[in-house]
Structure 1
Amino acid sequence: MQSEIKAYLEEYPDTEIVQFLLADMNGIYRGKQATIDALKGVVYFPITTCFLTTDGANADTILDDYGSDPDRPCVPVPGSLRPVPWARRPTVQVLLTMQDKDGSPFFMDPRVVLSKALAPYKAANLKPVVAIEYEFYLFEIGSNPPKPVAPPNGMPMATGANCYNMDVFYDFEDILQEIEDDCLAQGIPVSGLVCEYGNGQFEVNINHSDDALRVCDEAMMLKRVVKSVALKHGLHASFMAKPTYDEAGSGMHAHVSVLDASGANIFAGEQGRTALKHAVGGLLTTMNEATALFAPNANSYRRFDPEWFAPMVPNWGENNRRLSVRLPMSDDKNRRFEHRVCGADASPHLMLAAILVGAWHGMAEKIDPGEKTGELELVDFTDCIPSRWYSALEALKEGTVMKKYLGEDFIELYHRVRASEENDYHRSVPQADHEKYLRVL
């Protein structure tokens, strides 16, 4: 890593500041900023950093075991030195991964969890190829409840659904272009930005890669770029799953294929179609127990609304966007599945870990996914995935497949933290309760 640091500083000799970034289980980078000299030393973070609650606290349920919060060493991820274009001073960022005190990978680090999901593929000389799609909203800064942003060019706001509307896209061309430019500066291979279904909603895609860890790192970096550039323009970018009740929620979709040792897609050809069906069967079979990873907080479950295209049923088919697992139109070489359940608020590392586990489980056990849904068929909303936070957490706790591949220690601690959050949220009394009940009851 020292050679990478030396090469970077030779290319960017004016660099003054380094930002150390460590991913947590919420899909949030926790970090520290220091002078550039800090790159030469060891970086430490508290052991609980990877499993903080969404608002950055230690869950009450872990205090007996981790209340003393000892430090753990965190080492740089090779190849992760990137400039920070929006910073006021010349700044470099570096991604970290946490180690335990004996130098082994720390079991709650999301990168480590994803590595466990990749292990059976690696043992079989297979390599998943992954692309990620993100949806997000731009809001007026400081608005609460959030208010969709008016076009910066002075044009009147285009109300209603404006999916793929190029006029609306050009309304926001400056900020969207800056997002693309900063992604390019950070080496994030985005393939395009489009207006999505919601008012002020956009989608950005990360290109396919056979380095699944890097794709998820870049997905989190992409969120950081979008939020930072929006703030620079006086706007608030949100990847919340369902920020407003009358607009579509924001999802994070994963496109996945698998290559063999020769670089051929194992889903291609007649035999490949069988392998793909088995992978889909595993995804559907494990979907209930994985929902708590796809939908990690209370707001996540507000997105599961049949009127807004959010998948709620473990189903599959070709070219139908109402399904949980969609087989997009493609040639034989690029045959893949698109997993559409996850919200934009989730950790990309944990989302992909659960997907890869499900697909591997299906191929290993040769699971039949059942009848597929046609591209123009409507969905029968029966036998839905857990639509409430508590139910999803219980399904994760009782499940066996995620524990087998991702580790019982990870699932147990993830459940403990999330169950504590769920309990605190359930005990709170929101303003909506006062508006609905205080006067009449």
Structure 2
Amino acid sequence: MNAPFDQLSAWLKEHKITEVECVVSDLTGIARGKIAPTNKFLHERGMRLPESVLLQTVTGDFVDDDIYYDLLDPADIDMVCRPDSAAVYVVPWAIEPTAVVIHDTFDKQGNPIELSPRNVLKKVLKLYTDKGWQPIVAPEMEFYLTQRCEDPDLPLQAPLGRSGRAESGRQSFSIDAANEFDPLFEDVYDWCEAQGLDLDTLIHEDGPAQMEINFRHGDALDLADQITVFKRTMREAALKHNVTATFMAKPVGDEPGSAMHLHQSVIDIATGKPIFVDDNGQMSELFLHHIGGLQKYIPKVLPMFAPNVNSFRRFLPDTSAPVNVEWGEENRTVGLRVPTSSPEAMRVENRLPGADANPYLAIAASLLCGYLGMVEKINPSAPVQGRAYERRNLRLPITIEDALAHMEDCPTIEQYLGSKFVRGYVAVKRAEHENFKRVISSWEREFLLLSV
């Protein structure tokens, strides 16, 4: 710990940082933690937080007492949070020189906290390391820019661009439509460069003011950290320009949802060569087994890709999201697309995760499914030629309740992710759904108020 912490200390002093935001990710992906003066942070070498923040719902509530006290110490004890010197980022929009430092969480005996999303991803990555493999991922983040609105009962509206007009019609891949928000994205790219975020391309997606930013491929844990920082950066840049950036899976009715597509491949650590191709440059058996594992186990981990009731609105018919775990080459109607590439870049794109998913958990779940396919030697179905939207034989759960039932009833997922994590995650998502069901929607008032 001393050498990495000494490097972190030197970095903070070099950048004249006066405040440190010490954060951990909760199950939703919300940054929880403390803000400390740099001197205090260096003296304490981390922080302590109540374990209970990892069983907090998106509304700030907690799970039922019987689950809460079964998974956590009844005394609501603290967990030990230690800074990761490889996960340090400046905060370019802060008034004072500020850095955010992502922490890992441990109990008093030094054991990783099972409920921590970052620890879950580390657990999955160790499975690969133990086999001599290293997964490589490349995320694609979709999101909407909208007008700012204080009333949650009102539908979101497309923002005004530089022309003073809101978009109309579909503007997929339009350069001019993306350039409507040039000042905002200039700040985004400047801030991301200052933070060392490895962004690649900016694309205008199908919906009005719906954008996509791609990340360059790299280490899975590093990119999960980067996505966490990027989402906050994007929101801050939007606020500066008097609009809102949202990563909800389905923020606008009758418009496409927002995904977090995950490209994933694996290299052999000893040789540095990809294991998804054989000596002839064709798909290897390990690659096909990887796809087979994704097909078999994605239905069991779907809540880690689609964590909210809103997530499943993205899977409604005619929404352009593939509600299947079919696979095919250069086919965007399947859940598992194999893009055209050189043999060295052979990969599968998991198109099911939503932009609202916790990046640590979505990447962990996707990689775990592929890993299980490789170690269990699961053969995939035949690749799909043509349109796959209407195929039913590999259809997924289409409600959050059904998806949670699939997750908690899978012994294999519990074995690899841990009983405490699975039980805690399912309990948090059920508590959120119970909260949602208490809200009377505008649809009910419009069609039932005077008709039933």
- Could you tell me the TM-score, scaled by structure 2's length? 0.93
Identical positions, percent: 34
Letter in 2 for 1:188: L
CA deviations over 1:84-110 (Å, ceiling 9, x no partner): 001122111111111112111111111
Letter in 2 for 1:32: K
Selected match of 2:91 from 72, 78, 84? 84
Query: C-alpha separation between the residues in 2 aligned to 1:337 and 1:48?
Result: 36
Letter in 2 for 1:224: R
Deviation at 1:10, TM superposition (A): 3.4
Deviation at 1:26, TM superposition (A): 0.8
- Counterpart of 1:237 in 2: which secondary structure? strand
Q: Given the alignment of the two structures, is residue 159 of structure 1 paired with residue 156 of structure 2, yes or no?
A: no
Letter in 2 for 1:17: E
Query: C-alpha separation between the residues in 2 aligned to 1:83 and 1:358?
Result: 34
Query: C-alpha separation between the residues in 2 aligned to 1:104 and 1:298?
Result: 33
Q: Which residue of 2 aligns with 1:263?
A: 272
Deviation at 1:284, TM superposition (A): 0.5
Selected match of 1:133 from 133, 140, 143? 140
Q: Which residue of 2 aligns with 1:29?
A: 31
Query: C-alpha separation between the residues in 2 aligned to 1:336 and 1:159?
Result: 35
Query: C-alpha separation between the residues in 1 aligned to 2:321 and 2:397?
Result: 13
Q: Given the alignment of the two structures, is residue 310 of structure 1 paired with residue 290 of structure 2, yes or no?
A: no
Query: C-alpha separation between the residues in 2 aligned to 1:201 and 1:68?
Result: 46
CA deviations over 1:274-299 (Å, ceiling 9, x no partner): 22111101100012111111111110
Q: Which residue of 1 aligns with 2:5?
A: 2
Q: Which residue of 1 aligns with 2:52?
A: 48
Selected match of 2:41 from 39, 42, 52? 39
Choose 378-387 or 336-345, whichever is displaced more.
378-387
- Counterpart of 1:307 in 2: which secondary structure? coil
Query: C-alpha separation between the residues in 1 aligned to 2:439 and 2:69?
Result: 24
Q: Which residue of 2 aligns with 1:403?
A: 414
Letter in 1 for 2:251: P
Choose 49-58 or 316-325, whichever is displaced more.
49-58
- Counterpart of 1:279 in 2: which secondary structure? helix
Q: Which residue of 2 aligns with 1:11?
A: 14
Q: Which residue of 2 aligns with 1:281?
A: 292
- Could you tell me the TM-score, scaled by structure 1's length? 0.95
Give unmatched runs, 5+ long, in structure 2.
Answer: none
Query: C-alpha separation between the residues in 2 aligned to 1:9 and 1:110?
Result: 26
Choose 155-164 or 286-295, whichever is displaced more.
155-164
Letter in 2 for 1:53: T
Question: 1:8-407 residue pairs with structure 2 within 5 A?
Answer: 8-13=11-16, 15-40=17-42, 41=44, 42-61=46-65, 62-65=67-70, 66=72, 68-142=75-149, 144-151=154-161, 153-209=162-218, 211-260=219-268, 261-269=270-278, 270=280, 272-374=283-385, 376-383=386-393, 384-407=395-418
- Deviation beyond 6 Å, 4+ runs, structure 1: none
Question: How many residues align structurally?
Answer: 437
| Preserved CA contact (<8 Å) 1:354 1:402 | no
Deviation at 1:378, TM superposition (A): 4.0
- Counterpart of 1:131 in 2: which secondary structure? strand
Give unmatched runs, 5+ long, in structure 1.
Answer: none
Letter in 1 for 2:406: A
Change (3 A) 1:87 1:382: same
Deviation at 1:401, TM superposition (A): 2.4
Letter in 1 for 2:37: T
Query: C-alpha separation between the residues in 1 aligned to 2:97 and 2:47?
Result: 20
CA deviations over 1:137-194 (Å, ceiling 9, x no partner): 111112532111110x234222121111000111111111211111110111001211
